[in-house]
Amino acid sequence: MNANARELAAHFDIEKLTAEFYADPYPTYRALREQEPVKRMPNGSYFLTRYDDLLTAYKNTKAFSSDKKKEFAPKYGASLLYEHHTTSLVFNDPPAHTRVRRLIMGALSPRAIAEMEPDLIALVERLLDNLAAKGDVDLIEDFAAAIPIEVIGNLLDVPKEEREPLRGWSLAILGALEPVIGAEAFARGNSAVDDFLGYLKILVARRRAKPGNPDRDVLTRLIHGEDNGERLTEKELLHNCIFLLNAGHETTTNLIGNGLVALSAHPTQKKRLIENPGLIKTAVEEILRFESSNQLGNRMTMEPVQLGGVTMPAGTLVTLCIGAANRDPRQFNDPETLDIGRTPNRHLAFATGAHQCAGMALARLEGAIAISRYLGRFPAYTLKGPPLRGGRARFRGFLSVPCVVG
């Protein structure tokens, strides 16, 4: 381990990230994993980078709580952002979490997802036709971002002509989850929750008056609740719809965008996938591992916890660094190499345990169809200069990827 790595680990502060870090966080992650895998931050929180330590945290929900009320109170004050994030299932422990998760999982069953496939293929083919007609395109705006917005819109049956503002709201609300936010990001996030709630109230009222098919329409399912009479309150219903719309947008956009950029930067792997389209499933898993679109998760200790020789008292904030764990050489051979045929590949891009991503089967399907059909149609695509990064630590991806489809 050289002096530079020691420096990187010693000076790492989640609240003071550098431009170099946003461009390429992996040297820092590697240094932390080797030097200080349970790293205390100046603000008293801890930053975990080893695969096994993340597994411990994900699996022990009693010791590592997902409830964010304590953490978000000083960050958001009494605001709509606070109300939204603390009502979402992902930031709650049982029993609130269990109730909402059961309802959502029911609507994301393997059968429901298989039924979405024909529409998804038709959507991707339509977008590819548009790309072919344009020639000069932005892989994010014209392709990657256009897919999840339609898929999640369909899932909640949001009328097509009303989908336009969803992506902007979603980016603003999730942007407020960055480790440090300024007044402007806070204001943008709050007004996005306000606008989103206003819209959803209308959508829910319409759906109550005219219910959809609960096997396919998540909103109808959430409104009706379980057969045993279990229901969500109005507040839970609205905020969890917002969460669902957000959870599936940016992450899946980034899976597709990161995948096409990574393949372009690794021509041998790109050629291998074009020549062996049957590798698309392992390729999607490898993209999820190599450039995880959700890089950070958070928990709070509920009791004193010992990890890597460090004792953290109860009430400690802990950041789980998925991006670092997914390149841990104790778990993955040659982890810094993109290998689209990698097996096994037990990455943590969707986390694991009680909060494991509820939409992962859908995300995998979207990634596989989008990337394989794009490569099939435009095997010679080339990027026009360096793509523009989103500049976020939590959600890793690109804002814009200018490209010639070839």
Write each residue from 54 to 93 as x if it is in contact with ligand HEM (CB under 6 A), else as -, in one continuous string: ------------x----------------------xx---
Residue from 8, 307, 363, 368 binding ligand HEM (CB under 6 A): 363
Q: How far is the CB of 293 from ligand HEM (least distance, A)?
A: 4
- Counting contacts by CB under 6 A, is residue 17 touching ligand HEM? no
Evaluate whether 361 touches 108 at the Cβ level (below 8 Å): yes
Q: How far is the CB of 361 from ligand HEM (least distance, A)?
A: 9
Amino acid letter, residue 104: I
Q: What residues between 145 and 164 interact with ligand HEM by CB under 6 A?
A: 152
Q: Could you give the CA distance from residue 148 to residue 363 in angstroms, rounded to a whole number?
A: 8
Residue from 37, 153, 335, 359 binding ligand HEM (CB under 6 A): 359
Q: How far is the CB of 363 from ligand HEM (least distance, A)?
A: 4
- Counting contacts by CB under 6 A, is residue 257 touching ligand HEM? no
Q: Which stretch binds ligand HEM (CB under 6 A): 25-33, 41-49, 246-254, 370-378?
A: 246-254
Q: How far is the CB of 313 from ligand HEM (least distance, A)?
A: 21
Smaller CB distance to ligand HEM: residue 28 or 251?
A: 251
- Counting contacts by CB under 6 A, is residue 347 touching ligand HEM? no
Query: With CB under 6 A, what is the number of residues at the site for ligand HEM?
Result: 24
- Counting contacts by CB under 6 A, is residue 351 touching ligand HEM? yes
Nearest-CB residue to ligand HEM?
Answer: 359
Q: How far is the CB of 321 from ligand HEM (least distance, A)?
A: 12
DSSP collapsed to 3 states, the chain: CCHHHHHHHHHCCCCCCCHHHHHCCHHHHHHHHHHCCEEECCCCCEEECCHHHHHHHHHCCCCEECCCHHHHHHHHCCCHHHHHHHHCHHHCCCCHHHHHHHHHHHHCCHHHHHHHHHHHHHHHHHHHHHHHHHCEEECHHHHHCHHHHHHHHHHCCCCHHHCCCHHHHHHHHHHCCCCCCCHHHHHHHHHHHHHHHHHHHHHHHHHHHCCCCCCCCHHHHHHHCCCCCCCCCHHHHHHHHHHHHHHCCHHHHHHHHHHHHHHHHCHHHHHHHHHCHHHHHHHHHHHHHHCCCECEEEEEECCCEEECCEEECCCCEEEEEHHHHCCCCCCCCCCCCCCCCCCCCCCCCCCCHHHCCCCHHHHHHHHHHHHHHHHHHCCCCEECCCCEECCCCCECCEEECEEECC
Q: How far is the CB of 238 from ligand HEM (least distance, A)?
A: 15
Smaller CB distance to ligand HEM: residue 104 or 131?
A: 104
Q: How far is the CB of 183 from ligand HEM (least distance, A)?
A: 26
Smaller CB distance to ligand HEM: residue 143 or 350?
A: 350
- Counting contacts by CB under 6 A, is residue 362 touching ligand HEM? yes
- Encoding tokens for residue 153? 């819109």
Give whole-number Cα distances, 374 to 120, 157, 363, in Å. 13, 26, 16
Phi, psi at 109, each rounded to 5°: -65, 160
Q: Which stretch binds ligand HEM (CB under 6 A): 26-34, 189-197, 346-354, 370-378?
A: 346-354
Q: What residues between 281 and 300 interact with ligand HEM by CB under 6 A?
A: 293-294, 297
Residue from 9, 17, 57, 104 binding ligand HEM (CB under 6 A): 104
- Counting contacts by CB under 6 A, is residue 252 touching ligand HEM? yes
Evaluate whether 322 touches 48 at the Cβ level (below 8 Å): no
Q: Could you give the CA distance from residue 60 to residue 205 in angstroms, rounded to a whole number?
A: 39
- Counting contacts by CB under 6 A, is residue 255 touching ligand HEM? yes
Smaller CB distance to ligand HEM: residue 179 or 248?
A: 248
Q: Which stretch binds ligand HEM (CB under 6 A): 11-19, 132-140, 192-200, 353-361?
A: 353-361
CB atoms within 10 A of CB 97: 19
Residue from 113, 139, 280, 358 binding ligand HEM (CB under 6 A): 358
Q: What residues between 182 and 211 interact with ligand HEM by CB under 6 A?
A: none
Binding site for ligand HEM (CB under 6 A): 66, 89-90, 101, 104, 152, 244, 247-248, 251-252, 255, 293-294, 297, 349-351, 355, 357-359, 362-363
